[in-house]
Amino acid sequence: MRVNWKTYDPGHFFDEIISSPGYARKPARRLASYLRSLTHEALLERKTAAELAIKTMGISFTVYSDAGNIDREWPFDIIPRPIAESEWNRTSAGLQQRLRALNCFIHDIYNDQKILKDKVVPAELILNSANFRSQCVGVKPKFDVWAHICGTDLIKDKDGRFYVLEDNLRVPSGVSYMLENRRVTKRVFPELFDSHYDILPVTEYPAQLLETLSAISPRKQKSPEVVVLTPGIYNSAYFEHSYLAQRMGAELVEGNDLVVEKDMVYMRTIDGLTLVDTIYRRIDDLFLDPSVFNKGSVLGVAGLFKAWLKGNVALANAPGAGVADDKIIYTYVPQIIKYYLDEDPILPNVPSYLCIDKKQCQHVLQNLDKLVVKPANESGGYGMLMGPQSSSKERAEFARRIKADPRNYMAQPLISLSTVPVLGERIVEPRHVDLRPFVLQARESYVTAGGLTRVALVKGSYVVNSSQGGGSKDTWIIGGI
Amino acid sequence: MLLSRVAERVYWQARYLERVENSARLLSVFSNLLLDLPKGTKLGWRTLVQITGSEDSFDARYKQDSERNVIRFLLVENNGFSLLNMLAAARENARTTREIMPMEAFELVNDLYFYVRENAAGGVGRGPRHKLLDEMIATCQQLWGLLAGTMSRDSAYAFVRLGRGLERADMTTRIVDVGSYNLLPSLREKESIPESIEPYANILWMNILRSQSAYQMYRQHVRNRVNAVDVVKFLIQSEEFPRATAHNLTTLVKVLEALPNNGKALRQVHKTRRMLKSADFEALLDTGLLQYVDDLQVELAAVNDKIAQTWFLPNR
Stretch A292-314: mean pLDDT: 92
CB spacing of A58 vs B6 below 8 angstroms: no
A22-57, pLDDT tens digit by residue?
999 999 999 999 999 999 999 999 999 999 888 888
Q: Enumerate domains of chain A plus CATH numbers.
A: 219-312 (3.40.50.11290), 353-413 (3.30.1490.270)
Q: Is the pLDDT of residue B40 over 80?
A: no
Q: Work out the percent of chain A whose per-residue pLDDT is above 90.
A: 71
B window 151-170, beta carbon within 8 A of A = 155
Share of chain B above pLDDT 90, in %: 59
> Average pLDDT in the A407-412 region?
88
- Among A151-165, A369-383, B121-135, B142-156, name the one with the lowest average pLDDT: A369-383
Q: Dmax over Cα atoms in chain B, in whole Å?
A: 59
Q: For the CA atoms of B148, B152, B155, B157, what is the dihedral angle to 10 degrees?
A: -10
B73-95 pLDDT tens trace: 999 988 889 999 999 999 989 98
* Average pLDDT across chain B, whole number: 87
Flag if B98 and A243 touch (Cβ within 8 Å): yes
Judged by a CB distance cut-off of 8 A, whether residue B314 touches chain A is yes
Residue A453 clears pLDDT 50, i.e. is over it: yes
What is the reported pLDDT for B184? 44
Q: Are A319 and A141 in contact (CB under 8 A)?
A: no
Residue B7 touches partner A, C-beta closer than 8 Å: yes
User: Do residues B133 and B123 touch, judged by C-beta distance below 8 A?
Assistant: yes
A392-401, B72-81, B95-104, B179-188: least confident range: B179-188
The nearest CA of chain B is from the CA of A453 a distance in Å of 25
Are B260 and A269 a contacting pair at CB < 8 A?
no
Q: Label residue B163 by pLDDT band (50, 70, 90).
A: very high
Burial class (CB in 10 A: 0-12, 13-18, 19+), B315: middle
Is the pLDDT assigned to residue B41 strictly greater than 80?
A: no
Report yes or no: A76 at the B interface, CB cutoff 8 Å: no
* pLDDT level of residue A388 (50, 70, 90 thresholds): confident
Q: Is the pLDDT of residue A481 over 70?
A: yes
The pLDDT tens digits of the residues spanning A259-280 come to 999 999 999 999 999 999 999 9
**Where does the pLDDT of residue B197 fall: very low under 50, low under 70, confident under 90, or very high at 90 and above?**
low
Q: CA angle at residue A444 from A443 to A450, to 5 degrees?
A: 145
**Which one, of B257, B259, B249, lies nearest residue B2 by Cα?**
B259
Chain-chain contact of B260 with A250 (C-beta, under 8 angstroms): no
CA-to-CA distance for A441 and A100, rounded, in angstroms?
A: 8
> Is B107 in Cβ contact with A269 (below 8 Å)?
no
Mean pLDDT of A71-93: 92
Q: Does residue A257 sit at the B interface (CB-CB below 8 Å)? A: yes
Residue B185 has what pLDDT? Answer: 42
Q: How many helices (H) does chain A have, and how many strands (E)? A: 14, 25
Q: Please check whether residue B255 touches A, CB under 8 A.
A: no
Identify the band that residue A469 occupies on the pLDDT scale cut at 50, 70 and 90.
confident
**Residue A180: per-residue pLDDT:** 93
The answer to whether A269 faces chain B, any CB pair under 8 Å, is yes
Least CB-CB distance to B259: which of A55, A268, A270?
A270
Q: Which of B184, B201, B190 is nearest to B285 (CA)?
A: B184
Q: Where are the domains of chain B?
A: 4-315
Chain B residues touching A251 at Cβ < 8 A: 1, 3, 6, 99
What A263-268 contacts at long range (C-beta under 8 Å, 24+ apart), as own/partner pairs, is A263/A303, A263/A306, A263/A307, A263/A310, A263/A312, A264/A307, A264/A312, A264/A313, A265/A301, A265/A303, A265/A304, A265/A307, A265/A312, A265/A313, A267/A225, A267/A227, A267/B1, A267/B3, A268/B3, A268/B4, A268/B5, A268/B314, A268/B315
Residues 323-352 of A with CB under 8 A from B: none
CB contact under 8 A, B96 and A246: no
Q: Give the pLDDT mean for A196-213.
A: 94
| Cβ distance of B99 and A250 shorter than 8 Å | yes
Q: Are A469 and A458 in contact (CB under 8 A)?
A: yes
Does the beta-carbon distance from A56 to B314 stay under 8 Å? no
Give the residue from A52, A203, A269 with the most B CB atoms within 10 Å of its CB, the best one to mutate.
A269
Residues within 8 A of B (CB atoms), A 42-61 only: 55-58
Nearest by CB: B5 against A245, A254, A272: A254
**Residue of chain A minimizing CA distance to B159:** A270
Q: What is the pLDDT of residue A66?
A: 47
Q: Does B110 touch chain A (CB under 8 A)?
A: yes
* C-beta atoms of B1 and A251 within 8 A: yes
Q: What amino acid occupies position A200?
A: L
Mean of pLDDT values over A327-352: 94
Q: Is the pLDDT of residue A319 over 70?
A: yes
- Say whether B107 and A271 touch across the interface (CB within 8 A): no
Rounded to an integer, the average pLDDT of B191-198 is 51
Question: Which residues does B311 contact at the CB level (< 8 Å), separation at least 6?
Answer: A270, B4, B7, B8, B159, B259, B261
Query: What is the pLDDT at residue A94?
Result: 97
Identify the pLDDT of residue A405. 87
